[in-house]
Amino acid sequence: MTFWEKLEQAARRNRSLVCVGLDPFMGKLPDCVKETDRPFFEFNRQIIDATCDWVCCYKPQAAYYAGADRDNELKMTIEYIHERAPEVPVILDVKRGDIGSTAEQYAAEAFERYAADAVTVNPYMGFDAVKPFLDHADKGVIILCRTSNPHSGDFQNLVADGVPLYEHVARRVRDEWNYNRNAALVVGATYPEELSRLRSICPDLWFLVPGVGAQGGDLEKVVISGCNSAGNGIIVNSSRGIIFADRSEKFAVAAGEAAAKLRDQINSFRFRQS
């Protein structure tokens, strides 16, 4: 089963466009898991158990694990998702952007070492940087386009041939890079006007949308601007707002409640506008 088949199946089954970002940080973990042998994995395991009925996918950010020398717990987390919720796909957030044999090894890392269903990549170095990932036809390749960070416009808003750079990225993905029908775009929630514009340019591509919650993205605008004509097409990522909803021994219960609440909020806008 391809990433997109799994995603659509999970979205339909759980009536959800919610993606939970599994980004553990030791300083924020509840005391009840800090003292375990594998605190990141134990934290994630309980979060997954509490949220798997409310999500369409999970997205661990690799830097949180690599920076804490806990790559093994990242691998364990992805393995656990495949076991506990096999219908829910995993996006490995690494934003790779190298070329040639190096990019091939990064693809092997994501899809073979970690067995992720999809990966985030940086297109700054052009087609050479994304082809080794796109050639894995059964995997999702989610390409940075209009990101949510405050200074993303330093380069993404530069105009060439009358349109900003991020539009060039979107058109290139739509017209040339999506030859295996496995490409998508990262489009930040903090720029709803650009999100709407990109939806008009790419009516059939899925968008991974970070920036809701802690970064200040407006959920209603995201759903209205980003959903396609079928009322889907966006993956709304939330990390801190769900996994750190509570830091007591009841953290997993709070995470499940937060994920369910976000799902219901999205659906209230999603089906109203479709």
In order, the DSSP letters of 243-257 are HTS--STTHHHHHHH
What does the DSSP assignment read for 6-18? HHHHHHHHHT--E
Reported as half-sphere exposure (CB side, CA atoms, 13 A), residue 200 has a value of 7
Active site residues: 95
d(CA 97, CA 177): 15
Q: What is the CA radius of gyration of the chain?
A: 18
What is the helix (H) or strand (E) element at residue 218, kind and residue range?
Answer: none
Taking CA 200 as the corner, what is the angle to CA 58 and CA 267, rounded to the nearest 5 degrees? 45
Q: What is the DSSP string of 24-88?
A: --GGGS-HHHHTSSSHHHHHHHHHHHHHTTS-SEEEEBHHHHHTTT-HHHHHHHHHHHHHH-TTS
